[in-house]
Amino acid sequence: MMMGVIPAFLVSPFFKPFIEVWPLEPDSVRTNICPFREDPRAHQNLWRAARLRLLTLQSWLLDAPCSLPAEAALCWQAPGGDPCQPLVPPLSWENVTVDKVLEFPLLKVHPNLCVQQVNSWEKLQLQECLWADSLGPLKDDVLLLETRGPQDNRSLCALEPSGCTSLPSKASTRAARLGEYLLQDLQSGQCLQLWDDDLGALWACPMDKYIHKRWALLWLACLLFAAALSLILLLKKDHAKGWLRLLKQDVRSGAAARGRAALLLYSADDSGFERLVGALASALCQLPLRVAVDLWSRREMSAQGPVAWFHAQRRQTLQEGGVVVLLFSPGAVALCSEWLQEGVSAPGAHGPHDAFRASLSCVLPDFLQGRAPGRYVGACFDRLLHPDSVPALFRTVPVFSLPSQLPDFLGALQQPRAPRPGRLQERAEQVSRALQPALDSYFHPPGTPAPGRGLGPGAGDGT
């Protein structure tokens, strides 16, 4: 460094010289590493906690613990278990942001319209038929895709599992066989327009009347067969009595096997309470009831997640005219009260088998919107919880105390085919006998003397 003469004003008493020094090496570079970004298991667990929520008939959003790179598209779910067919084209995939309202350009909604979610790996992660709960079960409708070209050229095809079948067509599919009738229904305004654009439109055409025509022919054939059979039986009267007796037994056994469906929901407070729930479910299975409980579906629930498992079980139970049983305990009452106060899920991650906590997001709207009566029934155990302890919102449906109110409880479960009062009392005693050992074990664990037992001479007589 070259040194020179320092001017006199720089050495005045009012000036303090300073020196700046810095290292020749640059600052170290900071790096951000996310070890879970490419981990499939982390993504899978994240998608299990996500769900689609319908806000209005035109808007919905994706609830998830954190941001997810995702796309969504509408698809058409036909009854029968076929895969949901995405409506791309004519509609396109839409980017999805967590907790941000998304709308599709629909003129009308339909229970068969579902939302498909995929992540950045183009793998289907989530599918919900959002409008099924508000509009009812899936309908046997056919979806027509109208494509518009230049000079008012228009073509129509019917969306089927094998693809989009052009109309009219000589193919062997159901839509092709009914192609002329479907075109007539479209022209006469019997089809519902779901979407409209300059490039095309979507129409939902009902198929009920064509199914009824086939059923009418089938019924006619059955009546002719029954008439011929009656004639044969009249000619062989002695053999007819034995045949009718066997037929009556088969009908009764078949009706018992096709008992009403019941979905049992409970809070897993402890292992002892779970054993008590299992005993109740097993006892109910001995009646004309088809009981579903998460205790018997642990492997399926672990694979699907508690939310997806509950939604599938609830939808199937209600579609079959069954009933959902809410079994209240101190833990279940605490969860319900917390939901009602906060309006959101209770804190803490969902356990792998926590079906009750997962069910509240779907059960509460049914009670708040008045859809619970006739579809839900409450119950609790006599010495564990009083029915008045159940939150008032859930007491809009009958809440029974077990086993003291077993006859009324079983009558509510087996409606509208409830047995006669005498038969109902007999079944209640049967369930009570099967339930009593589990109740004794729960309220008086091994090693604990029951009241009036094991207390030595004079026990129970005041001595």
Question: Is the same domain home to 290 and 312?
Answer: yes
How many structural domains compose the chain?
4
Question: Is the same domain home to 432 and 309?
Answer: yes
Question: Is the same domain home to 230 and 317?
Answer: no
Question: Is the same domain home to 53 and 110?
Answer: yes
Q: What is the mean pLDDT of residues 423-430?
A: 88
Q: Decide if 248 is inside a domain.
A: no
The secondary structure of residue 236, as a DSSP letter, is: T
Report pLDDT for 34. 64
Residues 10-67: tens digit of each pLDDT:
444 444 455 777 667 666 666 666 666 677 787 778 888 888 888 877 788 888 887 7
Mention every residue, 6+ apart, whose C-beta is less than 8 A from residue 9: 15
Exposure string for 205-228, b = 16+ CB within 10 A, e = fewer: bebeebeeeeeeeeeeeeeeeeee
Report pLDDT for 353. 53
Residues 346-401: tens digit of each pLDDT:
444 344 556 788 788 888 888 988 999 989 999 999 989 999 999 999 999 999 99
Q: Do the Cβ atoms of 327 and 333 come closer than 8 Å?
A: no
Q: Return the percentage of the chain with pLDDT > 70, whole number.
A: 77
Report pLDDT for 1. 41
Other beta carbons within 10 angstroms of residue 55's beta carbon come to: 12
Question: Is the same domain home to 219 and 279?
Answer: no
3-state secondary structure (DSSP) of residue 419: coil
Question: Is the same domain home to 194 and 119?
Answer: no
Question: Is the same domain home to 310 and 431?
Answer: yes
Sheet of strand 163-167: strand arrangement: 163-167, 154-160, 141-148, 200-206, 192-196
Question: Is the same domain home to 303 and 219?
Answer: no
Question: Is the same domain home to 304 and 329?
Answer: yes
Q: Which of 88-92, 96-100, 138-142, 242-246 has the lowest mean pLDDT?
A: 242-246
Question: Is the same domain home to 356 and 390?
Answer: yes
Question: Is the same domain home to 266 and 125?
Answer: no
Q: What is the mean pLDDT of residues 402-424?
A: 82
Q: Decide if 254 is inside a domain.
A: no
Find the domain containing 337 and state its range. Answer: 259-443
Beta bridge pairs of residue 327: 266, 379
Residue closest to 414 by CA, chosen among 310, 286, 327, 279: 286
Q: What is the mean pLDDT of residues 166-179?
A: 82
Strand boundaries in 56-109, DSSP class E: 59-63, 70-76, 85-86, 94-96, 102-103
Record the tokens describing residue 294, joined without a space: 């998460």
Question: Is the same domain home to 49 and 79?
Answer: yes
Q: Do the Cβ atoms of 140 and 204 come closer than 8 Å?
A: no
Residues 73-99: tens digit of each pLDDT:
888 988 877 888 888 888 888 888 888
Q: From residue 420, give the alpha-carbon distance in Å to each of 262, 298, 423.
A: 20, 36, 5
